[in-house]
Structure 1
Amino acid sequence: MPHNKNINVVSENIALVHSGEDYFSRLESIIRNSQFEIHMQIYLFENDATGKRIISALKEAASRQVKIYLLLDGLGSLSFPSEIRYDLEISGINFRFFAPLFSSYTFYLGRRLHQKVVVADRKVALIGGINIADKYHGTATEPSWLDYAIQLNGEIAKPIQELCNAIFLKKTRLHSQKIKSVFHLQEDISVYILQNDWLKRKNEISNAYIKSICNAKEEITIMGSYFLPGRRIIQALKKAAKNKVKIKLILSGISDLPMTRRATCYLYSKLLSYNIELYEWNNSILHGKAAVIDNYWTTVGSFNLNNLSSYGSIEMNVEINSTVFSKMYQEELNEIIAHCQKITPETLEIKNTTFTKFINWISYYITRIIEIVVTFTPYKRFYN
């Protein structure tokens, strides 16, 4: 889908970043221009062409004596080759897995590192939902997964780097503290760094979504991959709809997790009964997690509207309060909607055979059970 990158920079301190070459060229530039220290905390890092490109940039930076800390989730990056890890460590890169799935004494699901954060020299950061893999970059035959990140420049990067350092070094006290999270970049733009880590009593992203939805006056647009919200989000959307707020949801038409998509489809009838507009994106896999409310409040990051993100993962979002930025991003989302298939009660009735309804129903409850098991696995829940 075409987009005009020139309109995505509304301040020298903040820019909307698209999956594909836009994200990876920025990431490579940040790494190659770094001088002192890089923190990269990623859920999924694959050893494909895109992964090799970023590994090469990291090794080059390490050769310049840049301190590099690479933290990958033990489940998301389970397939990361041990020989590549060894090569990175030989190059001087500090590497570890967050909560390895297997160890000598346990099998662990539980809490995951789901945030996607890169920060360099305490002056530039990338925060979003984009992992390191070909599917997020795209290939000659396959489009990139639809996703976004935010690039932040300046003082706002300092506390992000401090938090990443605390997580990597397992500084529990610092990790448990809230970071300074609000920055007024200019008169009409303020930025908040929001975290969700239920075990550390950080529910900032969940609470921001609920508060903003409940306070909406005119319009809510949400892009939701793996959309399976809990009761509080559903009730907030229902309340907003009763208040005559126009609500649009951009959801997955195709997904890398078909059962989760089926579970989302189970909610369609309920959502449509609230007069919520539903749009399915079918041009590529939808992986974005973002929202715009009333052309003023925007959030972009790693947080999915489901219980895994709410209660089982470490997440980070950027919240932007800005009329200029939100209007720009709303135009982007409107363009996406123009390329989506709209789901109406009539089209849903045609699609929903008795067998389809049963599959959606069973997918919903199986997915909910899996969420409960994974999220609340009791053994070594605080492992980090």
Structure 2
Amino acid sequence: MTRLHKNQHPRRWVPGNHFELLENGEEFFPRVFEAIAQARREVMLETFILFEDKIGQALHAALLGAAQRGVQVHVLVDGFGSPDLSDRYVGSLTEAGVRFRIFDPGRSFMGQRLNVLRRMHRKIVVVDGQLGFIGGINYSADHVADFGPEAKQDYSVQVRGPIVAQMHHFTREAVLDDAGRKHQPSASITGRPHAGTARAMFVTRDNHHHTNDIEHHYRVALRTARHRVVIANAYFFPGYRFIREMRRAARRGVDVRLILQGQPDMPIVKAAASLLYDHLLRAGVRIYEYCDRPLHGKVALVDDEWATVGSSNLDPLSLSLNLEANVIIQDNAFNARLHRRLSHLMDNSCKQVEATAPSRWDGLRLLRSYAVFHLMRWFPTWAGWLPRHQPVIALASPQEVGVPNVPPAQPGAAA
């Protein structure tokens, strides 16, 4: 096991990129699996959740095939999000040469996992240092429609261009975590060929040097918004300053729209977000609940150019505790594409939340809103008091998992 080191990278706009929006697993998984199948030198993959279902088996086959033809394959999964991978699954990969790592593999106590705080929540893939994927989609069957009513609505992007160099350098530092090793300086982005016209910024959140970068860029965008804001986020309970910028934008005439879960995967998600409804609606924010199935997306757009896609929710875990990664995009074409998809969601699959009619309970609602508002105001400070252990990354080996010479799993096999 080796201890994590700090990850640092520049925070500046990088021109010359191309982004393609990928909606749900039906668009995302084929692109990723094909990219891995075409890899010639290296695959770097980070994910919060990897399940041993049909999607996990398809990923297994793609990674195994790449490793068997000599590609360097590195995988990092979170120990809390991916706790049940079998020795057979991991062992057949490591036997083929895949470097399989687990972020903070905590032990359970009486059947309960205790490593719940400060998770590695990122979802990034970089292939040959040239093609990247980033978003909110995990490797599990509940991201495709045939899973049923609990299938998730989610988004990712495929990325080409100079910004991939930053993603590549970051993932190498995060995944290739050799103790005491001096990492090379970040790869030059000036020599990378341009792939499009989008300016982009790769932004991460950690518990050391970049504790609020993602939230900061959201708040700057809200502060400078002129005519529209659309935020679609699965787990919404942000901090005081974030809510304040949303309210201020709405009050100065910006059309601020918020898409949240109407059919949540966890009931507490809707209950928590609904505590903020009165506070936002009274300022003019329009709130829509997506009711077709659970919403898992983490996307937003502002005006006609700014957009973001990534792993970060707008809740205390993502904004104050977890390790996250988003890409911020300045591009009219991408912004318009995302706006069309979110507008389709609002028009066809959402219920707009109406302001509560005046009643004798207004005083109680006002008191509740006041309490919640100030709870959020102080949460970032309180989060700093929570356990801040130094997580470790465990490298799995065939000897450790105890399954030498296991035949590869077949794509589509049941978990």
Structure 2 Cα separation of the partners of residues 96 and 84 of structure 1:
13
Aligned equivalent of 1:3:
none
Aligned equivalent of 1:270: 279
What residue is the counterpart of 1:119 in the other structure?
Answer: 126
* 1:319 equivalent among 317, 323, 328: 328
Q: Distance in 2 between the 1:159 and 1:12 partners?
A: 12
The number of equivalent residue pairs is: 371
SS at match of 2:77: strand
Q: Structure 1 counterpart of 2:304, which letter? A: N
2:226 matches 1:217: yes
Higher helix share: 1
Task: Identify unmatched segments of 5+ residues in structure 2.
Answer: 1-15, 394-415
Seen in structure 2, the aligned counterparts of structure 1 residues 376 and 69 have a Cα distance that, compared at 3 Å, is: farther
CA distance in 1, matches of 2:375, 2:51: 28
- Classify the secondary structure of the residue corresponding to 1:313: coil
Scaled by the length of structure 2, the TM-score of the pair is 0.79
Where 2:323 maps in the other structure, the secondary structure is strand
Q: Residues 109, 377 of structure 1: CA spacing in aligned structure 2 closer, same or farther, 3 A cutoff? A: farther
2:301 corresponds in structure 1 to 292
Comparing both chains, which one has the higher relative contact order based on Cα–Cα distances under 8 Å and sequence gaps of 6 or more? 2
- SS of 1:377's equivalent in the other structure is coil
Q: TM-score, normalised by structure 1?
A: 0.85
Task: Tell me how far 1:12 sits from its aligned partner.
Answer: 8.3
Tell me the distance in 2 between the aligned counterparts of 1:114 and 1:318.
14
- CA offset at residue 144 of structure 1? 3.6
Contact 1:149 1:301 in 2 (8 A): yes
Q: Which residue of 2 aligns with 1:133?
A: 140
CA distance in 2, matches of 1:179, 1:374: 36
For residue 311 of structure 2, what is the amino acid of its counterpart? S
Check the 8 A contact 1:116/1:316 in 2, yes or no: yes
Q: Which runs of 5+ in 1 are unaligned?
A: 1-10
Partner Cα distance (2:386, 2:185) in 1: 21
Could you tell me which residue of structure 2 aligns to residue 81 of structure 1? 86
Task: For 2:31 and 2:46, locate their aligned partners in 1 and report how far apart those are by CA, in whole Å.
Answer: 16
Contact 1:260 1:364 in 2 (8 A): no
Matched-pair contact (CA < 8 Å) for 1:108–1:379? no
Q: Could you say which residue in structure 2 is the equivalent of 1:342?
A: 351
Q: Tell me the distance in 2 between the aligned counterparts of 1:81 and 1:96.
A: 14
Percent identity, please.
27
Deviations 1:24-73 (A, max 9, x none): 10011011000111011000000001110110111111110111111000
Quote the Cα distance in structure 2 between the aligned partners of 1:186 and 1:349: 54
Indicate which of 1, 4, 18 corresponds to 1:13: 18
SS of the residue 2:264 aligns to: coil
CA deviations 1:201-242 (Å, max 9, x no partner) are 353211110100011111100001111111111111122122
| Aligned-partner SS, 1:20 | helix
CA RMSD of aligned residues (A): 3.7
Q: What is the Cα deviation at residue 378 of structure 1?
A: 2.0
Letter in structure 2 aligned against 1:92: G
Alignment partners' CA distance in 2, 1:25 and 1:262: 35
> Residue in 2 aligned with 1:5?
none
Task: Establish whether residue 302 from structure 1 lines up as the match of residue 307 from structure 2.
Answer: no
Counterpart of 2:3?
none
What amino acid sits opposite 2:236 in the alignment?
F
Is the partner of 2:177 in helix, strand or coil?
A: coil
Structure-2 separation of matches of 1:360 and 1:341 = 24
Task: Please give the alpha-carbon distance, in whole angstroms, between the structure 1 residues aligned to 2:22 and 2:58.
Answer: 19
Q: Which has the larger radius of gyration?
A: 2
User: Residues 1-384 of structure 1: matches in 2 within 5 Å?
Assistant: 13-102=18-107, 108-139=115-146, 141-142=148-149, 144-170=151-177, 185=194, 188-345=197-354, 376-378=385-387, 380-381=389-390, 383=392
Residue-by-residue CA offset, 1:142-166 (whole Å, 9 max, x unaligned): 4741111110124332221221111
Other structure's SS at 2:208 match = helix
TM-aligned CA distance change 1:349 to 1:188, over 3 Å: farther
